[in-house]
Structure 1
Amino acid sequence: MNDFKLWYSEPAVSWAQGLPLGNGRLGAVVMAAPHREVWSMSEVTYWSGQSDPVPSSGGGKAALEEMRQHFFSGDYEGGDRLAKRHLQPKKQNFGTNLGLCEVVIDFAEQMQNREQESGDGGQFRRELDLTNAVAGAVHQGKSSTLHREVFASHAGDLVASRIWGGLPGTVSFSLSLVNGTGQFRATAVEGDMLEFKSQATENIHSNGTCGVYAKGWVKVVISGGSIHSGDGQLTVSGADEAWIYFAVSTNYRRTDADWESESRSTIEQAAGNGYEMLREEHVADYRREYDKVNIHLGRSDKADLPTGQRIQSLARGGGDDPQLFALFLQYGRYLTIAGSRADSPLPMHLQGIWNDGEACRMGWSCDYHLDVNTQMNYYPTEITNLGDSHLPLMRYVEELAQAGKSTAGHLYGSKGWVAHVFSNVWGFTLPGWETSWGLNVTGGLWLATHLIQHYEYSLDREFLARQAYPVLKEAAIFFLDYMCIHPKYGWLVTGPANSPENSFYPGHAGERAQQLSMGPAMDQILVRELFEFCLMAAELLDQDEAFRQTLQAAAAKLPPLQIGRKGQLQEWLEDYEEAQPEHRHLSHLYALYPGNQITPGRTPELSRAARVTLENRMQQNELEDVEFTAALFGLGFARLHDGENAYKHISHLISGLCFDNLFTYSKSGIAGAESNIFVIDGNFGGTALIAEMLLQSHAGEIHLLPALPAAWSTGAVSGLRAKGNAEVDVAWDNGRLTAAEVRTFSPGTVTVRWGDVRTDFQAEAGGSYKLGSRLELLA
């Protein structure tokens, strides 16, 4: 039995039951049933909207000074009114990623008729094999058997499928395309192909006329039987076997006309080489990434059940299914590989590279949320050994930094660059639609901290000099120019700004809730990390001596992390009362994860305050229970070395906030969600959580099994990455370490910890160091 398959004995009757495929650009959700198969197709650059001009000046430093005086004097409402006047520019054609189309495959009516006459609906199974990134389905009746498989090839840049029967001449179906947007046209050409053209337009997030154009083809190749075209569809009759190829290109960032013929050339090449070669290349390309990590957390009889039943069993408190958690980790890695490759044109958005249309039709937009969602998409990338999948985000941040220079200058009168709570593929860096939640002045910086993470894991000096330091230096220049001294405390603070997306009472509960203030904790945490990294990078690169001195002086004036009167980690500069203690966001706990300004060993008091914050939020009856919050709870407890609480939250995420296909969702009614809506960040947050329970390397040491729960008492994991450019294997039995291996790719001192036991050794580049149960180095 393959432990790393999602499988079901029931047909997929909705998108939330379909199985996702992806090649880093193209996405497909395959909804398989005995007599029908639908592929919901998406493409990461298929966006509505356009680049709109940045509005005229928001008032610059003079306006900032005026509104800041209101906040410093306690006039929050007056400051808020000014912020709305100066820092809430109108938006135009922001846009959204849209679904592309559906490929609908209806199998021959005679097969259904035979089964109806025999009174046998047959046996059905569908699955997604994570090991090879192939989805499959088989329907077996008394008189016939039909096999299907489909995959999205990164190597071939297309989606391909094979359909075959148990007997010759039993493959018959019709294939058609259903439009995803209003401007969509499909035409049968050359007897075996469908050509389609479309434009990504909609009327909620743009004016209904602007958006990316797409052009693609579907080609059907058969062995035996016949194929006919007409009425915009292809019909196959009596074939022994059939192969389907789907490819599409868009004109996003294209000024030439070559994009219109690219996908046809892609299909013709794939069909010419043959399906088997395409499949072999796909599997080899995919497994170069997937095979880097292996994990086993124990096994039980539940591992043989269909995936949906395993989720239900966990929800009922059935427990004893440790390999379901290993499956979830590898599923998250699979989604990372499927959604983001080194050459992907864009990073993953709110739904990865997939799109069910739900976020697009609401006020949400299927975009880049910069107040945890896009960041969480990439939380597991480095630790689970998929660093190349991080690269599209690195390039996106570079471009965001260029676009954000205009916003910094026009809105704040400042140098450097800034971006706020949302962004898109058109260089949007302005505040959000409402200052109450949109004036998150460190949203772009938060995203840019992934440059720091990528460097800390890789120690790639060229990346540091070429991308990370230049982008982050310009961010530091902005904050040095933009921040001001608090007249009461003498601290250097941001503001007006919010703590995403929370609110507070400036005086007593019952007063009007406010969102804007000076110096929220999240801003100060991020700015401190920014300044410290720039200082380190400039020194390492032997650059910018005067700039370093400026940074050092500014860093000394940043506010400290503070503990409130309830013992909690303060979310704002003042110890305000939360207006929404049940709120879904936990942004100020960035200092605990993914940052490391709070650790149990170095900052025990702040660690206790972070625990109080987590526990207070958990105890709220009206807690906004969403996918990313469940992941953040677990990640916080993992960093506090509390394996049982971390396990509680990863269990809840899988059993209570996942569809049947293990896609995570945000519950209906929260943040305006009109239904349980797919948001992929929970998949990646949960993946990062499982990895963090087994390995941490954020505090100058490689910490083995820091938050191991009793439910995973015996197991092994190999190939996880540690900061400092190392890979780690760990094995344990009855909750105790049995063996470990550290492979180092850069020289230096390595500190390894398990429990209270530590060991240090000097590592060489290319070294491999085996450790025993007490961390003794083995020959």
Structure 2
Amino acid sequence: MRPATSVHGHASAAPGPDDLTLWYDRPATDWETQALPIGNGPLGAKVFGGVASERIQFNEKTLWTGGPGSPGYDFGNWRRPRPGAVEEVRERIDRDGRMAPEAVAARLGLPKSGFGAYQTFGDLHLDLHLDQAGAPQAPSGYRRELSLREAVARVGYSADGVAHSREYFASNPGNVIVGRISADRPGTVSFTLRHSSPRDDKTVTAADGRLTIRGALSDNGMRFEAQVQVIAHGGTRTDDGDRVTVRGADSAVLVLSAGTDYADAHPAYRGEDPHAEVTAAVDAASARSYDDLKAVHLADYRRLFDRVRLDLGQGVPAVPTDRLRRDYTGGSAADDRALEALFFAYGRYLLIASSRENDLLPANLQGVWNDSTSPPWSADYHVNINLQMNYWPAHQTNLAETAVPYDRYISALVAPGARTAREMFGARGWVVNNETNPFGFTGVHDWATAFWFPEAAAWATRHLYDSYRFTGDERYLRDTAYPVIKGAAEFWLDFLHTDPRDGKLVVSPSYSPEHGDFSAGASMSQQIVREVLAHALAAAERLDVDQDFQAETRAALERLDPGLRVGSWGQLQEWKSDWDSRTDTHRHASHLYALHPGDQIAAGSPHAEAATVSLTARGDGRTGWSKAWKMNFWARLLDGDRAHRMLAEQLKGSTLDNLWDTHPPFQIDGNFGATSGIAEMLLQSRHDAIHVLPALPGAWRTGSVSGLRARGDVTVDATWKDGAPDTVTVRPGRSGPLRLRSSLIAGRHRILDDRGLQVGARRDGDTLTWDAAAGRAYTIHRETAAAVNATAAPGVPAEA
């Protein structure tokens, strides 16, 4: 028994409410819908805020069953050769035009073996108020909150005449989760810390105020460890077997870190025992003051989060967030704007919290949060849209660092994917199908409508090429992106099939994700393959490498079916044959890939008109992530009101009280897709032009946004009044021609640089082009006729 002296804190008033805080007037009782998430990338936790007992469920992203060490793990590859299997399916499709998914799965599928699932690390419990004689009085003034500006969760209330407060954050520097328990009366902090888990595969011990949870997963032998240091200021601290008790303290701090022996290296996927690294993390953090740990966390987090600000004219809601969501109508009320702005910021918060530079794995279907041993869809990496959607807002909303683990993960799939390409498909390059795990699962399973999607590898590389387009970093293109993109393209150069009907190169067998029959040349398949070939060719040309590969790719592109057809009722066809139904409301709208995230359909074109017909027929319903994708589609079609309607539908029907997106159940991709959709309404950078406020909805009458990123290494700010752009500021990171499009340009305006000098620009309708200099800021102002006439000549300081 000894008082602790290392880290301490005291009760302090929480910051005042603001427009970017989720808050509630009662504790959470449900993990999925109510508890609040914190995370630093590798670590995540959910805070419940109980009064008699606090629950903190936590995760470490690499804790997975399955993979090497799990019985029968085969990477999804056929266990025995199946000579002629793919050719047989192709021949039937050539003959009959289509083939039922069940029939294809019976020939090409394989039951999952050792795929595994993401695992909870368990729960920490703080049994509170041990010095009270019986249960505490009912609390008053209860508030539970999550500040998005700080990435700090708080709990506060009064009981028995004492104001109690708790504060939690997950710090990326040091890789720790930190909590502080305090009160406004000395000597009134008492609790017992214990751990629970749904698995019986670990030991829990307490020594010197440190709880150590250590074990190995019975499924695959993966070693794991978590340590929680309890540091009391005042009072006493005692260890009792598998728990730590603090009595009569003024305050106490918890420091948690966790890890496993996972390594992202094929084929073993195992590294060092986590004990040393976890111990070092907890030791280092425990030696620092709470205020210091928090200051370091805030500086790190705000460096990312504060880059972008969105003002929709919202106020500070006077009601808890669950009520704010329930009262939301999508109309003109200030509280509606507050929820929309909060939802946008929440997506950025969740991406920072679940994907950071030091992560071995990207955000999964649930980000980094999971309370189960068998979560929905294993909380895995679905690559027929979901993983890709997670990273749509990364560059758009100025969070490029969050994409580092995505790049690392996709690159790590190349080695196992090359084996799958060679053994199952007889092709060069690499491939991955519908879903994968942390252990290089690149083959197939046998769920008929979701087992076959070899286009996934090509789609996965889109983000790598887009990273280059946003940054212009040629070293990144050469060293990271191009080898992966080239490999995905080489697979298709070998695996494309000549359609006997017209001699075009098509994907066969081809399946429009989770919908309809197998066929040859489904629209999404063709659009994705066309894109990866074009990206690979453009990258090779830019780097001036691989001349033979360039020639081979050009030849394939000339013969490739483009996957863009207008059907009998004016729709964009989902399949090469005109099978679309006007009454089809399926959640996937995969044939619109060329509109978003792709760039093959421009607004106002005949194919855009056909996409509008298809999208209208699909309707506004279905699942959360589907609504988010539709938001992006409508934004790309420059219809801000329809995009806003999809945002409203998602908030009203597919969003939980803690603002997590629900499929149902919870899937985080809908949060990220919605943040991307809002960004697309405000800024687009396609076809070598930056389009500012391209799809501003009528509901957002006045507002501003700053810090969004455009392709070409440009940062963009904008303000608008009465539904019309007022100012646009661009900050190029590289010198060269800059093309900017805005309805502001069609009217009276002037453009000044950050020295107050007027800039000469070439105007073409609503587009301006000028030679921009890196590091300068250029602002376009809406002007009255009188102000325009008084503007200084180019190169002369402008007078007010």
Normalising by structure 2, report the TM-score.
Answer: 0.89
Cα 1:584–1:198 change in 2 (3 A) is farther
1:325-340 paired onto structure 2 within 5 Å? 325-340=340-355
Deviation at 1:275, TM superposition (A): 1.4
Deviation at 1:450, TM superposition (A): 1.0
Deviation at 1:121, TM superposition (A): 3.3
Residue 465 (structure 2) pairs with residue 452 (structure 1): yes
Match of 2:433 in 1: 420
Candidates 646, 651, 667, aligned match of 1:649: 646
1:133-172 paired onto structure 2 within 5 Å? 133-141=151-159, 143-172=161-190
Match of 1:229 in 2: 239
Deviation at 1:317, TM superposition (A): 6.1
Residue 698 (structure 2) pairs with residue 682 (structure 1): no
**Is the 8 Å Cα contact of residues 535 and 551 (structure 1) preserved in structure 2?**
yes
Candidates 733, 746, 750, aligned match of 2:721: 733
Q: Which runs of 5+ in 1 are unaligned?
A: 202-208, 504-514, 668-676
Deviation at 1:105, TM superposition (A): 0.9
Residue 18 (structure 2) pairs with residue 2 (structure 1): yes
1:106-255 paired onto structure 2 within 5 Å? 106-111=127-132, 113=134, 115-116=136-137, 120-141=138-159, 143-190=161-208, 192-200=209-217, 209-253=219-263
SS of aligned partner of 2:193:
strand
SS of aligned partner of 1:591:
coil
CA distance in 2, matches of 1:300, 1:112: 44
**Is the 8 Å Cα contact of residues 20 and 148 (structure 2) preserved in structure 1?**
yes
Match of 1:512 in 2: none
Match of 2:492 in 1: 479
CA distance in 2, matches of 1:663, 1:159: 21
CA distance in 2, matches of 1:80, 1:114: 59
Candidates 620, 625, 630, aligned match of 1:628: 625
SS of aligned partner of 1:637:
helix
CA distance in 1, matches of 2:125, 2:424: 49
Residue by residue over 1:669-699, the C-alpha shift from the partner in whole angstroms, topping out at 9 and shown as x without a partner, is: xxxxxxxx11100100010011111111122
Match of 1:575 in 2: 578
Residue 672 (structure 2) pairs with residue 662 (structure 1): no
Residue by residue over 1:618-677, the C-alpha shift from the partner in whole angstroms, topping out at 9 and shown as x without a partner, is: 07xxx5x2111110111111111111111111112122211111111113xxxxxxxxx1
Residue 599 (structure 2) pairs with residue 596 (structure 1): yes
Cα 1:520–1:759 change in 2 (3 A) is same
CA distance in 1, matches of 2:257, 2:283: 10
Match of 1:98 in 2: 119
Residue 40 (structure 2) pairs with residue 17 (structure 1): no
Match of 1:59 in 2: 82
CA distance in 1, matches of 2:346, 2:293: 23
Deviation at 1:153, TM superposition (A): 0.6
Report how many aligned residue pairs link the two structures.
737
**Is the 8 Å Cα contact of residues 87 and 435 (structure 1) preserved in structure 2?**
no
Q: Which amino acid aligns with 1:700?
A: D
CA distance in 2, matches of 1:295, 1:523: 36
1:689-708 paired onto structure 2 within 5 Å? 689-708=677-696
Deviation at 1:76, TM superposition (A): 3.7
Match of 1:671 in 2: none
Cα 1:222–1:325 change in 2 (3 A) is same
Match of 1:205 in 2: none
**Is the 8 Å Cα contact of residues 171 and 242 (structure 1) preserved in structure 2?**
yes
**Is the 8 Å Cα contact of residues 117 and 375 (structure 2) preserved in structure 1?**
no
CA distance in 1, matches of 2:547, 2:390: 36
CA distance in 1, matches of 2:65, 2:332: 45
Deviation at 1:212, TM superposition (A): 2.5
**Is the 8 Å Cα contact of residues 433 and 455 (structure 2) preserved in structure 1?**
yes
SS of aligned partner of 2:173:
coil
CA distance in 2, matches of 1:404, 1:85: 22
SS of aligned partner of 2:196:
strand
**Is the 8 Å Cα contact of residues 173 and 236 (structure 1) preserved in structure 2?**
yes
Match of 1:464 in 2: 477
CA distance in 1, matches of 2:100, 2:90: 10
SS of aligned partner of 2:202:
strand
Candidates 560, 565, 569, aligned match of 1:566: 569
CA distance in 2, matches of 1:717, 1:78: 48
Match of 1:204 in 2: none
Cα 1:97–1:535 change in 2 (3 A) is same
CA RMSD, aligned part only? 2.1
CA distance in 2, matches of 1:196, 1:763: 57
Cα 1:211–1:298 change in 2 (3 A) is farther
Deviation at 1:361, TM superposition (A): 4.7
SS of aligned partner of 1:97:
coil
Deviation at 1:183, TM superposition (A): 1.2
Q: Which amino acid aligns with 1:281?
A: V
1:697-776 paired onto structure 2 within 5 Å? 697-755=685-743, 757-773=766-782
Q: Which amino acid aligns with 1:557?
A: R
**Is the 8 Å Cα contact of residues 370 and 420 (structure 1) preserved in structure 2?**
yes
CA distance in 2, matches of 1:490, 1:211: 52
CA distance in 1, matches of 2:406, 2:177: 24
Residue 557 (structure 2) pairs with residue 555 (structure 1): yes
Deviation at 1:158, TM superposition (A): 0.7
Residue by residue over 1:223-280, the C-alpha shift from the partner in whole angstroms, topping out at 9 and shown as x without a partner, is: 1111122252211111001011111121102766552122122112111122111111
Cα 1:79–1:297 change in 2 (3 A) is closer
Deviation at 1:772, TM superposition (A): 1.3
Normalising by structure 1, report the TM-score.
Answer: 0.91
CA distance in 2, matches of 1:114, 1:48: 40
CA distance in 1, matches of 2:133, 2:36: 24
SS of aligned partner of 1:159:
strand
**Is the 8 Å Cα contact of residues 47 and 211 (structure 1) preserved in structure 2?**
no
Candidates 393, 402, 410, aligned match of 2:406: 393
**Is the 8 Å Cα contact of residues 422 and 432 (structure 1) preserved in structure 2?**
no
1:250-399 paired onto structure 2 within 5 Å? 250-253=260-263, 257=272, 259-300=274-315, 303-315=317-329, 319-320=333-334, 321-357=336-372, 360-362=374-376, 364-399=377-412
Q: Which runs of 5+ in 2 are unaligned?
A: 1-16, 264-268, 747-765, 789-793
CA distance in 1, matches of 2:600, 2:221: 43
Cα 1:293–1:318 change in 2 (3 A) is closer
SS of aligned partner of 2:483:
helix
Q: Percent of aligned positions with the same letter in both sequences?
A: 36
Deviation at 1:296, TM superposition (A): 0.7
Match of 2:90 in 1: 68
Deviation at 1:579, TM superposition (A): 11
**Is the 8 Å Cα contact of residues 187 and 234 (structure 2) preserved in structure 1?**
yes
Bigger mean CA deviation after superposition, 717-726 or 7-16:
7-16
Q: Which amino acid aligns with 1:55?
A: W
Q: Which amino acid aligns with 2:284?
A: Q
CA distance in 1, matches of 2:36, 2:88: 54
CA distance in 1, matches of 2:193, 2:631: 45
Q: Which amino acid aligns with 2:90?
A: R
CA distance in 2, matches of 1:532, 1:422: 25
Deviation at 1:367, TM superposition (A): 0.4
Deviation at 1:336, TM superposition (A): 0.8
**Is the 8 Å Cα contact of residues 718 and 725 (structure 2) preserved in structure 1?**
yes
**Is the 8 Å Cα contact of residues 347 and 393 (structure 1) preserved in structure 2?**
yes
Deviation at 1:426, TM superposition (A): 0.6
**Is the 8 Å Cα contact of residues 115 and 122 (structure 1) preserved in structure 2?**
no
Residue 448 (structure 2) pairs with residue 439 (structure 1): no
Deviation at 1:435, TM superposition (A): 4.2
SS of aligned partner of 1:329:
helix
Match of 1:507 in 2: none
Match of 2:617 in 1: 616
